[in-house]
Amino acid sequence: MRPFDYVAAHSIDEALNLLGRYSPDALPIAGGTDLLVRMKRNQIFPRVLVDIASIGELHGIELTEQGLRIGSMVTHAEIITSPLIRQYAPVVAAASASVGAPQTRNLGTIGGNLASCVPSMDSAPPLLVLEAMVTVAQTSGQQQMPIEHFFVAPRCSIMTPEQLLMEILIPTEHLGKVSRFAKFGRRKGLSLSLVNTAACVEFDKSTNRIVSARLALGAVAPTPIRVHEAEAFLTGMEYTEDILAEAGVIAAGEAKPIDDLRASAQYRRELIKALSRRVLSEALSG
């Protein structure tokens, strides 16, 4: 690991000023569960680390008029145990529970997980199907955008080095909607996803029809993705297991998996079919 300077910021303005002053050689650090590993492997070489973990505005989980707000510095462990998350967005808690080991969940933050832009991140699919919004801060003000627009490429978000991810907001209209998350790795614990997926559905029991469906995938494209063609296919359809299986096939066709050391592209496509069908079936049953 190369030498670096460390400075702790105690407000958003101070953090932004520091990031701007040392840009592009400065990076924010909170839990450091991903950043420090990459530094030790000599994959990145920041000259300055700006500690943002003690900035109060970046913490907290609260219900607002706009929806459920999750500060970017909220840890996975806090998400798992939050009564508000468990009541209004349990699928987010389920995804956080699948992240790494307990030590990682105690240190790692949801903001860091998203900002890392690793295609296999577990936090993204649930937030995508809940159509979450993210707020990015810069010295000139704040910008809110759909989380679907946040991811650009592997290890690359829409943010510039002078910006900071502040919070995630799950809109009020999606709170409490039935949603499910599933992940498949090479082992049960401490494993990166070969494929992960989340679904959120609205279902009319009186007509046995799917009113709307949202389906998202991770580890099968350069970024986590919504599979819009599969969603459009499901909307208005009568619920049968065959329909869900067909949606899985469509989702697999929308994905762009690759061959790597952990799995082949074809194996991942089969996982997409199976996991998509599973989360959709569980959500509709719920």
Cα–Cα dist 278/271, whole Å? 10
In terms of domains, do 184 and 123 share one?
A: no
- Do 72 and 159 have their domain in common? yes
Q: Pull the structure tokens for residue 127.
A: 């937030």
Predicted confidence at residue 187, as pLDDT, reads: 61
Domain at 213, CATH number: 3.30.390.50
In the structure encoding, which two tokens stand for residue 180, read together? 């499910």
Which amino acid makes up residue 268? R
Which pLDDT score is estimated for 188?
57
What CATH number does the domain containing 18 carry?
3.30.43.10
Residues 136 and 236 in one domain: no
CATH classification at residue 143: 3.30.465.10
Report how many domains make up the chain.
Answer: 3
> In Å, how far from its chain's centre is CA 57?
20
Cα 87 versus chain centre, distance: 19
* Helices 241-254 & 265-285 angle (0-180, nearest 10): 140
Same domain, 127 and 86: yes
The tens-digit pLDDT sequence of the chain (286 residues) is 889 999 999 999 999 999 999 999 999 998 898 999 999 999 999 999 999 999 999 999 999 999 999 999 999 999 999 999 999 999 999 999 999 888 889 999 999 999 999 999 999 999 999 999 999 999 999 999 999 999 999 999 999 999 999 999 999 999 999 999 999 987 655 578 899 999 999 999 999 999 999 999 999 999 999 999 999 999 999 999 999 999 999 999 999 999 988 889 999 999 999 999 999 999 998 7
Q: Are residues 46 and 64 in the same domain?
A: no
> Domain range holding 151?
57-174
Q: What is the per-residue pLDDT for 204?
A: 94
In this prediction, residue 136 carries a pLDDT of: 97
